[in-house]
Amino acid sequence: MGSTGGGFLIGFGACILLVGLGANMILGQYYGQVMAWKDEVQQIYSITHSSYYEAALNSLDALSPGANMVADRIEPIPFLNQYAPPLRLVGNAASTMRQVRQASENAYYAINAIEFAPQYLMYAMIFGIVLAGSGSILAVRARARAGKGPAHPPNPPPPPVRVCLKCGYVASPGQRFCSNCGFSLNLS
């Protein structure tokens, strides 16, 4: 059982180690390029989550044709017809501002995750090494136990029974001459 558990730990630890190394190599290629944008992403995130941005977004929502049908009220007035199409675009602007806010959130959280990724990958690789090492210890111990044999040796075999060839008398162990006829029990 220890050999099976040790083999599992060795394999699982090696997998974690290799995945961590591969991810660290890939991340190392792009880490500097991504981190160069960190300040700009944080600045965009702070702008899109400010009270001024929220006020502008609420104002665009109030002006959009879907909110109170301003464009429908303007259309019948001939000299204001020129303003109706731009008012329809206000709703598109609000939608675009929401998309920019969502994109800034995604970029902000991604940069924060990438910033700490090398540290967590290093922890994963150390964990993989520890698992593989403990699996190796278990496998070596299991193999050593298998080489020694069982923990309690079986009972020793009984001494050979000596029978007198002349009279057929069964002698006790360690007896050299037959006690019945005196014949030598040493057959060597």
Residues 178 and 119 grouped into a single domain: no
Give pLDDT, residue 66. 55
Considering the chain, what percentage of its residues have pLDDT values greater than 90? Answer: 35
Mean pLDDT across the chain: 81
Residues 95 and 178 grouped into a single domain: no
Burial profile 160-170: b = 16 or more Cβ within 10 angstroms, e = fewer: eebebeeeebe
Long-range contacts of 41-47 (CB under 8 A, 24+ apart): 41/104, 41/107, 41/108, 41/111, 42/108, 42/111, 44/100, 44/104, 44/107, 45/104, 45/105, 45/107, 45/108, 47/104
Residues 119 and 79 grouped into a single domain: yes
Residues 143 and 173 grouped into a single domain: no
Residues 117 and 165 grouped into a single domain: no
Of the spans 68-72, 75-79, 161-165, which averages the highest pLDDT?
161-165
Residues 165 and 144 grouped into a single domain: no
Confidence band (pLDDT; 50, 70, 90) for 80?
very low
Give pLDDT, residue 87. 60
Q: pLDDT higher for 100 or 82?
A: 100
pLDDT above 70: residue 172: yes
Give pLDDT, residue 68. 47
Q: pLDDT higher for 65 or 119?
A: 119
Number of separate domains in the chain: 2
Give pLDDT, residue 78. 53
Residues 118 and 182 grouped into a single domain: no
Residues 93 and 113 grouped into a single domain: yes
Which residues form the domain of 141? 2-150
